[in-house]
Amino acid sequence: MLSIMALQPFTKEQLNYFKFAFVVVNEFPEVLRQTFKQMWDKTFAHLPGYQAWDDSIAVRNMFLGTEGGKTKVPTHLPYKEWDCTAFFQATIYAKSFALPDTAGHYRTLNDLYLKHCKPPHGTFHYSMVSPGGNNAETFAMAIDQLRLLRNALCHSFSSEIDKKTFDQYIQHTKDAIKALGATTTPIDAVGSLTESDFPTEKVCKLKDDITKGLRRVNTLLQTENTFLKENVEDQLMGVRSDLTQSRQERQEDLLELRKTIEKATANQTEIKELLKTERPGK
């Protein structure tokens, strides 16, 4: 497959796919990392016994403690090694940032702001700005928008994206990033890339990149192995209807990670690893 790809030029639709994959793989984690740090510092840095996020073992253990001593976030790893799924768990699904509802019960941002306003399957949030000016709600909507966009890439059955869809994805991405207070400059730079920025001869380097990438993904997967196994078995036994909506959301994110690994021999994982070495400006 690699030799065939190396001999064929990329189509515009393939280039769109590559560019969006670059954004998801390289820029989404950066934005989510900044957002998580901002949320942590605002919520805990001023409290006695806590500190601003410096990614030390001590502060990661503090986060583990605020989660009740159990979390699906790999707190044993530096947060620079957390992927998108980890950051979704560390923000909109985290107990650490739960807020009281109208009855005074503390709910995660997902349960409080997202659970009852999910867009139809395959679509995205129309707006990420809280109608009431609630920053927590705006952050939750923007983070969830990035989750939906990441899912769109992971669930794609083709390594091509038409221009209309690509433009839509990029605009949704920029709107979400702006809502989170981060810069969209890297997204604009990727959007302007041409075929010459993705030379086909470099595809041959994917063989080594795939091996390295799979090793890292497998390491991340091992941290979720028990939880994933339980939920996959439940899924195969046909008991999804008995799960709560919140658990379904957590299962969805974890199954997406497994699907990504299963596609490692296809274009998607190859593309991800290739684009990691083709970051604009480097």
Query: What percent of the chain has a predicted confidence (pLDDT) above 90?
Result: 49
pLDDT for residue 79: 96
Say whether 100 sits in a helix, a strand or coil: strand
Identify the bridge partners of residue 106 per DSSP, sorted by sequence position: 100
Q: Average pLDDT of the chain?
A: 80
* CA–CA distances in Å: residue 33 to residues 36, 53, 83, 140, 180: 5, 11, 9, 14, 11
pLDDT for residue 129: 86
58-110, pLDDT tens digit by residue?
A: 999 999 999 999 999 999 999 999 999 999 999 999 999 999 999 999 999 99
pLDDT of 48 over the 90 cut: yes
74-88, 117-131, 139-153, 209-223: range with lowest mean pLDDT: 209-223
pTM of this structure: 0.69
Confidence category of residue 207, pLDDT binned at 50, 70, 90: very low
Which tokens go with 104? 């005074």
173-202, pLDDT tens digit by residue?
A: 999 999 999 999 999 888 777 766 665 554
HSE of 67 in the Cβ direction (CA atoms, 13 Å)?
20
pLDDT for residue 198: 64
pLDDT of 168 over the 60 cut: yes
pLDDT for residue 18: 86
Which tokens go with 176? 């979400």
216-231, pLDDT tens digit by residue?
A: 555 555 655 555 555 5
pLDDT of 15 over the 50 cut: yes
Whole-number Å distance between alpha carbons of 128 and 135: 10
CB atoms within 10 A of CB 79: 22
Domain spans of the chain?
Answer: 2-276
Mark residue 261 as left, alpha or beta (left: phi above 0; alpha: psi -120 to 50; beta: remaining).
alpha
* CA–CA distances in Å: residue 86 to residues 28, 37, 102: 12, 13, 29
Q: Nearest Cα to 169, choosing from 9, 19, 48, 52?
A: 19
pLDDT for residue 3: 44
Average pLDDT over residues 113-129: 89
